[in-house]
Amino acid sequence: MAKDPCKLNLQIMSFILLMFLGILIVTGCSAPMGNPEDGKRWYSMHNCFACHGPNGNDGKAPVVNNLGMSYWRFERIIRNAGSPIMPKYPEEKISDQDVADLYAFLKAK
Ligand code: HEC
C-alpha cells in the first residue's frame, strides 16, 4: 500500500526542521566558556602584561581590559594580530580554551 503523501511530506519537513535546529544549537554554543581565574594565569604566563600592562590599561600597547570586542575578533587577534609587534600565538602555544579564559579574564577586568 502506498503511503499517504501528506504524511510523508510532514515527516520530511520535521526532519529538515530538526536539522536546522541542531545546526543552530551547535553554532550558538561553540564559543567556549572561559574561566577568568585561569585567564589571569595565562595573561602573566604569556607575558601579555609586558606590553599591555599588568592591568591591561597601563602598558605601551593598546588597552585590553574591559574588552568590548566579540570573542571571535579576540581569537583572531591572538592567533594573528597582524602587527609587527604583537607575537602570533598559534594553538600549540595558546589553546582555544586558554583563549576563552583570557577573553573571560580581560572582559571582566
Ligand atoms: C610584544 C608586545 C605584545 C605582547 C607580548 C602582546 N601584545 Fe597584544 N598587542 C600589542 C600591540 C602593539 C597591539 C596593537 C596591534 C595593532 O593594532 O597594530 C596589540 C593588540 C592587542 C589586542 C587588540 C586591542 C585592540 O583594541 O585592538 C588584544 C586584544 C591583545 N593585543 C591582547 C593580547 C594578549 C591577550 C596577549 C598575551 C597572550 C598579548 N596581547 C601580548 C603588543 C603585544
Does a structural domain hold residue 9?
no
Q: Quote the domain boundaries for residue 47.
A: 36-108
Is 89 a pocket residue for ligand 1 (Cβ < 6 Å)?
yes
Does a structural domain hold residue 103?
yes
Grid-cell match 600592562, residue found? 53
pLDDT at position 6 is: 76
Q: Whose CA is nearest to atom 7 of ligand 1?
A: 86
CB neighbours (10 Å) of residue 103?
A: 25
> Averaged over 79-91, what is the pLDDT?
97
- The model carries a pTM of 0.81
Between the CA of 54 and the centroid of ligand 1 the distance, in Å, is 13
Check which CATH number belongs to the domain holding 81 and give it. 1.10.760.10
Does a structural domain hold residue 86?
yes
pLDDT at position 8 is: 79
Q: How many structural domains are present in the chain?
A: 1
How far apart CA 49 and CA 57 sit, in angstroms, is 9
**How high does pLDDT run on average in the chain?**
91
pLDDT tens per residue across span 35-75: 999 999 999 999 999 999 999 999 999 999 999 999 999 99
> Averaged over 81-108, what is the pLDDT?
96
pLDDT at position 32 is: 78
